[in-house]
Amino acid sequence: MNGNCLSDVGKPSTLPARTAVAVLALAIVFALATLATPAAQAQTYTVIHTFTGGGDGSNPYTGLTIDASGNLYGTTSEGGSAIWYGGTVFELTHQDSSWRLTPLHAFYGGNDGTNPFGRVSLAPDGTLYGTTSCVLVDGCANVGTVFHLTPPPSGPKTALPPWDETVLYRFGGSDGANPQGDLTFDQSGNIYGTTLFGGSAGEGVVYELTPSGGGWTETVLYSSQDNPQGGVVLDKSGNLYGVFSDLVWYSNTDQAALAYGGVYQLSPSESGWTEQILYAFTDGDDGGYPMGGLITDQFGNLYGTTPTGGSDGCGTAFELTPASGGWIFRTIYSFPGACSEGGPEDKLAMDAAGNLYGTTTADGAWYGTVFKLTPLNGGWTYTSLHNFTGGSDGAFPFSSLVFDANGNLYGTAAYGGDNGCGSNPPGCGVVFEITP
């Protein structure tokens, strides 16, 4: 692990490292290059950057963010120029027919934080916000940070790396620990997010950061026993929606029941925030242990994924539709195959036509896929856009996907690429583009 603290975080099965340990080991045993199958459509798959494990970082576990000019921003969980190899924030700019990667910040531990496991969020002023999962102080403490990156004050921002980092908040445990997933902003500039651990029960919190007196004040909106993961989405009424990745106790006709993760709503009131479980998973045909968070469409429908469950145990994509004061749950796709619970672990992306896109971590040819789900006659049709081979094209994509203005898709694979990188399993990961 290049001497950084990732192996000391103590992540349970719900962190990205779960599949990177269990599924990757299984894939190495069984996966052969001859198992690779071509994409089902005439898509063009291109690797636009292969990570080296040096100053550019290694092992990108999360997706990318795109600006109005088509520049891409992302994080790596390890590598970088700092002594502890605590990960990086990078920018990819399109130059003629190629791409150029510029490291914007290398995490060095201590108060700076290490190991980002969430996407960066782009503010209207072009600055970046994100989280690190821990802080390096004699090992990896179960804390973490929320940070803000700004370009140097003069000259073109891409010509003057590194960017300046400000730590907005450091978690201490009781207020949350190990933040990951996307950050969400409201119209007043408040930030909402989730931590996997910490809080009064030690199993994570949903939090709000509010600008105050030149700094930021944290408020724990909900302290969970169920590991909230993937961040939250905000509706027009100020309600927050997200997923619990662990077991959830819920009330169903006054009966307590045990579930394998759930979808929740947090509603503001004068006395605080009220939690409601919208759906509790059985780890059957509906799926189990959702990790990637939710997206919403213009009608208020919620969409998400699970890495387990479904007809073959390979995960699901699901939809929740508001109806008559409640919610209707529907499994819109069950991923097939012998994938050893290697289904989608991040959120979906939706295009203007209502098609859904995402990644699976270890199905297809054992190294994961990029897929498209198309609504058709009341159901959904699956299309494979790319099956990873574990070679130069990458392996084990944990990331969400993002579109540019021309409909091209971008994402990351956490491993593969340059097999001489020194990572275990081989390869430090790639950034890829899929063009229609």
Q: What is the mean pLDDT of residues 314-327?
A: 94
- The CATH homologous superfamily to which domain 6-435 belongs is TolB, C-terminal domain (2.120.10.30)
Tell me which of 122-126, 153-157, 400-404 is least confident: 153-157
Q: Which value, to the nearest 10 degrees, does the dihedral of the CA atoms of residues 15, 20, 25, 28 take?
A: 160
Residue boundaries of the structural domains of the chain: 6-435
How far apart CA 309 and CA 55 sit, in angstroms, is 39
For the ranges 163-167, 252-256, 257-261, 348-352, the lowest mean pLDDT is seen at 252-256
Residue 291: closest CA among 246, 247, 333: 246
Q: Which token pair is 269?
A: 């009131």
Question: In Å, what is the CA distance from 295 to each residue of 329, 354, 415?
Answer: 15, 12, 26
Arithmetic mean of pLDDT, 31-37: 32
By three-state DSSP, how is residue 25 classified?
helix
Task: Find out whether 109 and 135 touch, Cβ atoms under 8 Å.
Answer: yes
Residue 320 has pLDDT above 90, yes or no: yes
Look up residue 362 and give its DSSP letter.
S
Q: In the block, which residue shows the tokens 């919610």?
A: 327
Cα atoms in the Cβ-side hemisphere of radius 13 Å centred on 74: 32
pLDDT, residue 316, reads: 96
d(CA 144, CA 208): 15
Among the listed ranges 31-35, 180-184, 361-365, 388-392, which one has the minimum average pLDDT value?
31-35
Residue with the larger pLDDT of the pair 39 and 390: 390
Query: Is residue 134 a contact partner of residue 182, using CB atoms and an 8 Å limit?
Result: no
**Predicted structure pTM score:** 0.88
In whole numbers, what is the pLDDT of the chain averaged over residues?
85
